[in-house]
Amino acid sequence: MSYWSRIPAELQHEITAYNADDMDTLRALCLASKTTRPFAITHLFSVIRFSCVEDFAWWIEMLGRTPVLTSIVKQVKILGNDVPRRLNRSRRRILPTVTKLSGNQIIPAFPHLPHVHSVEYNGPGILDIAVQSAPLFPRMHKLQLVNIAFPSFHRLTELVGSCGLLTWLAFDTVRVESLEPESPHQVPNLTGLTQLFVKNCQSQLDKWILRLIALYQPLGLRTLVLERPDKTSACIVTTAKKLLRLCTSSLVNLTLDSIFMHTGTYGALHGSFDLLLRLPVFTALDSLTIWLSYRAAHVIGQIQGPAPKLTRLSFRFPLYKPEYERNLEAFDTLLESVLPQNTSQSLKISISKKFPLCRRIAFHFCAPRDSELHYRRGMRRQMEWRLIHRLEVTAGSDIEKYLQIEWLDEDFRPIVYRDNGKPPWTATWFTHCYPEPETEASDVE
């Protein structure tokens, strides 16, 4: 009898759940014992990706051999971009050829996956595949569209409308080439939305979303994220005003992009602060996240609509410029702009007035995965120390009781560093142009 066979089923479930993101360990658990295999397979095949034409036929054949996988797959990602090199190498062991989905004229046959609840369409040239496949997922309630160009709003409406009643909807770098509106009878029903994300999209898409929500108001909308790269456009400010007023009683999580804090032009800045001054009372709001590019205390002071139930306030530092990787003076300049020492009202007083129940203040350092900051523990510690010192001056010495400091990647996922201070991944530029940064003296413990 295998050692694993003597372990209780509950413990085997906990072991596989703990290793849910470790594909190598899950594969090993599948081979370790027949009793651990069902638990490992649940995590190993819960998310599948189609990034080339050959994937579809391969999965149809695999599901035919192992029908139990049909009920295990819960999330599907269809990627139209180039297949990553490492993925390409692994697939060439199985597939004789790898044909990109982007621009492919023949739409492949889809495997039967009736239990899928989350679908992501990512990359140009896969619109026809998306429109054809969306109705094949009857239980889908989560849709994410990334880097897709729609020829018209008619096609966008056709895709969203074929997905049934969605609860989670995300647009990232989505554009519409023709601005001709669709007919009124084609409007999708968004009354079930609980989370909405709109990032890096054109202003016309904002208006389209606003019109849908005005017609079918999502009374249970709990999370709203609006991010735009165009810092001079006032369209998103207008959109945000209307959206926020539609969901004041249900919104639980709110993220304010830096466009609402500082845009570099007086007119846009005035419009942004006008939005903050006109924010309604959020009766259910529990978490507020603010991107820092302007004085934190001043921004909080401008917020007129209180949030009586808010318990968590988060600030994000955008460390996307190369100078932050090696130059502490650049970070000091950023600190001075967002947490000035000569302010008339401290950050702590501003927070206590607006959010009396706030018990956690988080500061997030956001840097892309390929940033050298993730490989320099000494640099990160210096930034954290300078932040804490500045907070003690601007918010009081007892701020540490409420303080939480985290490092996030570009997708805002928390990073758990290894014992040597390095991240749990290998940067792509190690194997292409640059070596891994040398270990600093402060990195050695």
Give strand pairing partners of 288: 254, 313
Which among 240, 250, 245, 328 is positioned nearest to 280, based on CA atoms? 245
**H/E element holding 79?**
strand 75-79
Exposure on the CB side of residue 443, measured as CA atoms within 13 A: 18
Assigned token pair, 105: 């004229």
The DSSP string of 393-423 is: HHH-GGGGGTEEEEEE-TT--B----TTS--
pLDDT of 86 reads 43
| 3-state secondary structure (DSSP) of residue 313 | strand
Share of the chain above pLDDT 70, in %: 74
Which among 341, 347, 294, 333 is positioned nearest to 316, based on CA atoms? 294
> Per-residue pLDDT tens for 332-351?
888 887 787 765 556 777 78
Assigned token pair, 288: 């507020």
Contacts of 205 (CB under 8 A, 6+ apart): 171, 174, 175, 176, 198
Which among 306, 310, 266 is positioned nearest to 286, based on CA atoms? 310
Instruction: For residue 68, count CB atoms less than 10 angstroms from its CB and return exposed for 0-12, middle for 13-18, buried for 19 or more.
Output: exposed
**What is the spatial order of strands in the sheet that 312-318 belongs to?**
47-50, 75-79, 118-122, 142-146, 168-172, 195-199, 223-227, 253-256, 287-291, 312-318, 360-366, 403-408
Full-model pTM: 0.73
What sections of 19-117 are H helices per DSSP? Answer: 23-32, 37-44, 53-65, 69-72, 85-92
pLDDT of 182 reads 59
Measured CA distances, 51 to 59, 88, 166, 271, 356 (Å): 12, 10, 24, 43, 49
> Cα separation of 71 and 42, whole Å?
9
> Cα separation of 201 and 48, whole Å?
27
For residue 261, the Cα-to-chain-centroid distance in whole angstroms is: 21
pLDDT of 382 reads 93
- Cα end-to-end distance, the chain, whole Å: 44
Which among 233, 220, 414 is positioned nearest to 316, based on CA atoms? 414
The DSSP string of 195-223 is: EEEEES--HHHHHHHHHHHHHS--TT--E
**191 touches 217 (CB < 8 A):** yes
pLDDT of 359 reads 86
**H/E element holding 384?**
helix 377-395
pLDDT of 333 reads 86
**209 touches 215 (CB < 8 A):** no
**H/E element holding 10?**
helix 9-18
Angle between helices 235-246 and 203-215 (to 10 degrees): 20
Give strand pairing partners of 49: 77
Question: What are the mean pLDDT values of the chain's consecutive 10-residue runs (445 residues total)?
Answer: 65 72 74 75 84 85 87 90 51 62 73 91 88 90 92 88 91 82 67 88 77 81 74 57 77 72 42 60 85 69 73 88 84 83 68 84 90 90 92 78 90 86 70 54 49
Instruction: For residue 136, count CB atoms less than 10 angstroms from its CB and return exposed for 0-12, middle for 13-18, buried for 19 or more.
Output: middle
Assigned token pair, 269: 């800045």
> Cα separation of 434 and 421, whole Å?
19
